[in-house]
Chain A
C-alpha cells in the first residue's frame, strides 16, 4: 500500500525521539548526529528497528539537520543515502506486521529567513531542494518537514518538496507555550498556508508535552480538512545527575495522546525524550481505535504570517489604497521607488481596521514584477495583515505569490479561457483565494443571468485544476450608475444568485458604482449596504470613507454580528462628523516661545498637528515660503539644540518626523508638478552583511528634512550595488553604516570600490563600532559621530566645500 492510501483510512503511528537516544549512546555535545548514519549505522538501524517493533508505521530518517548549509554536497549525499539505507534495513529486520514507511526527515535550516535573519527565501528553497532530491534518489516513501518554528521557512521547504518530488509531504510545526510559532503564526494560519499548497497532513511536534500541545491540536483539528499530526515531547526536560530526564512517563504520554486521537488527531508519534517504550505504550493503548473520519471544513480563508482571516457572515474589508490609479502622489512614489510611502499607506489602513490589504503597483513605465515583489516583501516585513496580490501581469503574480508568507488573496482571474489557463496553475501551486471576475471573451454581460453563467463556467474550469469552490470568490463587477441606470441592480442580483445558488463567497470594488457623480461617498455607503444585504462577503474599499465605515459598523450591529454593539460603540467616532474644530490651537499660547504655531509643532514633535497646520497654511502661503520661513527655522532650532546637547536624539527625531509630515503635505500638493529643489543626491546604505539599519534610517530622515534627495539602498547592500548606483546617478556623496566589527571590512571594500570606480564621490561613515581612527584606516573621507554631523558635512560638500 502506498502512504497516501494508508493515511486515508488509518491512524498512522510515527516514531519517537532520536537525539536523546543518540546522546545516551555517546553522541558528543556539538557533534552532528547526521554523521552517525555513516559512522554508527548499527546504532541508527537499531533505533529505527525498535520503533518499527513498537508499532511505528513511519520512521523518520536521521537527517534532521542534513542540509547543504551544514555539509558539503558529497558528504550530504553520503549522509542521506546512508540514512535511508539504515531505515530500510530496519524495516526489513523488524518482524512487525504493520505497514512500514520511510520518511525523509527535513528539519529547519538553523537560519532565520530575511528580513529577520540573513537567509534569502530562494536560497532556503535551494537548500531544502538538495536534500529532497537526494531523498527521492535513494527511495524515501514520503517527506516529513518537521519542528519548523517559522511559517516562511516552512513554505520554502514545502515548495522545495513539491518542486523536486511527487512524494507525499507532511508538515509538522513547533508551537510555543503561547500556541503560536516563534515567528508568530497561529495554527489556523498554518492550516491555511499548508492546505493551500496541497499538503497531505499537517500538525505539531516538539517544544512541549502532549498536555501543553492540546490546545494547538484542537485548533488544528477544528480548521484542517487533512489529517492532523501530533508528535509531542515527553514533557519538559529536567537535569537529574547530569542526565536529561523528561517529566511525562510513557503511560501518561499514551493516555494524553490517545485522548487527542479520539478528538480527531490521526497521525501520532513522539519527539524529544520519547523512546520506543512510549510508542509501544501508545500503540498498545490505541490499537482498537478507529480514526475519526476526515471532514472538509469548507473554509474560505486567507492568511498572513500571524493569523487567518475567514470569510463568513461578518463582512471582510479590503483596503484599496495601495494602488496608483487616480493618485498622483502614489504614482510619484512608485516612480521614485519610495517604498516607505507605500508602507505608510499600509500601516494607516491597518489602523483604520481593514482585514486585508490590496496591493497594486501597476504603472506603464515601471518594472511591475520587481516592484510588486518588493512591495509584498516590504509590506509583510512590517504589517501582519493578509495581502491581496492585485495584478494583471502573470509573471508579477507568480513572483509575488511565491514570496508571500501565507495564503494570499489573488486579484484576479476571469472567465476568459487563456486567463484561467494562466492563473489557475498558480493558485494550485502556491495556494490562494482567487477573486473571479464575471466577465469573459464577450465582455461583461449586462444581465445577472449572464454573469451567473460565467461564474458557473469559472467554477467548472477551476475544478479541472483541482481548485475547490471555497478558494474562488466572485466579483460581479460594480459599474457606474451614471452611465447605465440599472447597472447596480444587475451587480446586486448576480451577487445574490451566486451566493444562494452556487454557495460561493463574493467581493466587490464598491466605489466604482459612483464614478462620475458628486458626493460619491454617499452613494458608495448605500450601495455597500445593499450589497451586504444581497450576500456580499468582502468589499475592496477606501478605509478613510466615513460612509463605508458607517455602513460596516451599523450593518454588523444590526445583523447580530457585533456582541453588545461593542465594535460599533468603539468605532462610532470614526464616522461621526465632528463639529468643525477651531483652527486656533487649544493649547496655551506659545507665541512668545515660538514664532509660529507650525514651528511650535515641529519643535515639539507633534506629527499630526504639523501636517494639519501645513495643510491650512497652504491655502494662503506658497509652499516654498512655508518651507523656508517655518519648517527650516524650526528644524534649525532643534538641530542646534542637539549639537549643544540640550536636545537629545528622541526629541530630535520626533521633530524631524513632524517636519517630514509637514513636507509630505507640501509634496502631495505639488505632486505631478516638476519642482525639484533638491540640494543634491545622497546615496545611503547599510553595508553588506549588516542588517541593522536604524542609524541609517535616522540619518536619512534628517537629510531629507534638510532638502537632500536621499537614495536609500537599504541594508545588507553589496559593494557593487552601491558603486553602480553612484555611477548611474553621478552622486557626489555616499553614506555607509555598519554596526559590527565583522561588517566593517565590507565597508572598507565598498569605499575602495567607490574610490576606484567613482573617484569624484565622497564617503561618510557612521555606526556603533566606528571611530575616527577606524574611519581613517578604511579610507573614508569623513567619520560622522551622529546624524547632525552627517547633515552638516553633506551641506559642506554640496556647497562645494571639501573639508575633512
Chain B
C-alpha cells in the first residue's frame, strides 16, 4: 500500500465561460456581461495557482460504514459510491488565496465583479479537480468513481477533520480548515475517489448524482 503524500501543481486548465456564467446565475448574456466576464478572467488569471496533494488509502465498505484504516465514515451515499472499491485516492485541491483576495476586494467596492470572480473561482477549482482526476486516471490506467466530498449526500462535513489529518494540507498546499469546517482558501476541494477496474467516466454529469433537485445551479442532465 502506498502511504506517501504527493504534491502536484498543474498549468491553468482552459477557462469554460459557459460554466462560469452558470455559476454566476446567468442564463442569457448581453455585451456588458461578456465584458465583465472577460475583465474578471483577465484580472484573476495570474493570481490563481493549481495545487493538489493526495495519497492512496485502502477502503473496506461494510453496510454504510467506509473504513479507511485510520478513520471510518458512516454514509450510505459514500458506501454506494465506493461499492466494490478496495482502494481510494484522498486529495485536497486549491486554487489559492489570490482569488479570495479579489472576491473580498470587489465584494466591498463592486459586487457585480465579486459575483463574477466567485463564479470564476468555482469553475477553476472544479476544472482543477477534473484535471487531477484525468491525470490520475491516465497515470494509474484504471477507472475512477466520481469524486465524493464531505457534505455530499449524507457524508458528514466532520469528515473534513479526518481528511486534513491525513493529507497535511496546510503545509503541502496552504489549505486550512476553519473551526466551522469551512476551508480557507475558499476555492478548494477535498474528496475521496474510489479506484475501480471498471471504466467509469468520473468527471461528467456530477449534478446527476446530487439529490438537490431544485438547485439554482443544477446543470443540464
Contact = CB atoms under 8 A, between A and B. Distances in A.
A694 B111 contact: yes
B34 to A, nearest CB: 10
Contacts of B104: 115, 381-382
* Interface residue range, chain A: 35 or more
Interface string A103-140: 00001101110011110000000000000000000000
Given A28-B70, A111-B178, A694-B111, A651 B105 contact: no
Interface string A648-670: 11110110110000000000000
Given A147-B171, A237-B4, A381-B101, A742 B184 contact: no
B97 A182 contact: yes
A242 B96 CA distance: 29
Contacts of A649: 24-26, 115
A292 interface: no
A657 B181 contact: no
A244 interface: yes
- Greatest chain B CB density within 10 A among A29, A244, A649, A653 is at A29
A232 to B, nearest CB: 15
A688 to B, nearest CB: 8
Contacts of B151: 741
Interface in B160-209: 162, 165-166, 170-171, 174, 176, 178-182, 184-186
A347 B186 CA distance: 23
* Interface residue range, chain B: 35 or more
B6 A698 contact: no
B11 to A, nearest CB: 12
Interface string B110-122: 1110111010000
B51 to A, nearest CB: 9
B213 interface: no
A249 interface: no
Given A29-B166, A650-B36, A382 B105 contact: yes
A653 B109 contact: no
Contact of A694 (B118, B157, B185): B118
A116 B97 contact: yes
- Greatest chain B CB density within 10 A among A174, A343, A604, A653 is at A653
B184 A112 contact: yes
Contacts of A178: 49
A698 B176 contact: no
A243 interface: yes
A293 to B, nearest CB: 35
B211 interface: no
Given A147-B171, A177-B9, A654-B36, A111 B176 contact: yes
A176 interface: yes
- Greatest chain A CB density within 10 A among B7, B24, B96, B171 is at B171
A721 B151 CA distance: 29
B138 interface: no
Nearest to A243: B4
B109 A340 contact: yes
Nearest to A19: B168
A650 B97 contact: no
- Greatest chain A CB density within 10 A among B36, B49, B103, B170 is at B170
B42 interface: no
Contact of A650 (B2, B24, B49, B101): B24
Given A29-B70, A244-B4, A382-B104, A742 B111 contact: no
A206 B174 CA distance: 13
Given A694-B115, A741-B151, 17 more contacts: A29-B3, A29-B55, A30-B71, A111-B176, A184-B97, A236-B7, A237-B5, A243-B4, A378-B108, A381-B104, A382-B101, A382-B105, A648-B24, A657-B111, A689-B180, A697-B108, A740-B157
Interface of A: 28-30, 107-108, 110-112, 115-118, 147, 149-150, 174, 176-178, 182-184, 206, 236-239, 242-244, 339-340, 343-344, 347, 378, 381-383, 604-607, 645, 648-651, 653-654, 656-657, 689-694, 697-698, 701, 739-743
6 contacts: A108-B171, A118-B179, A648-B33, A650-B36, A689-B178, A698-B111
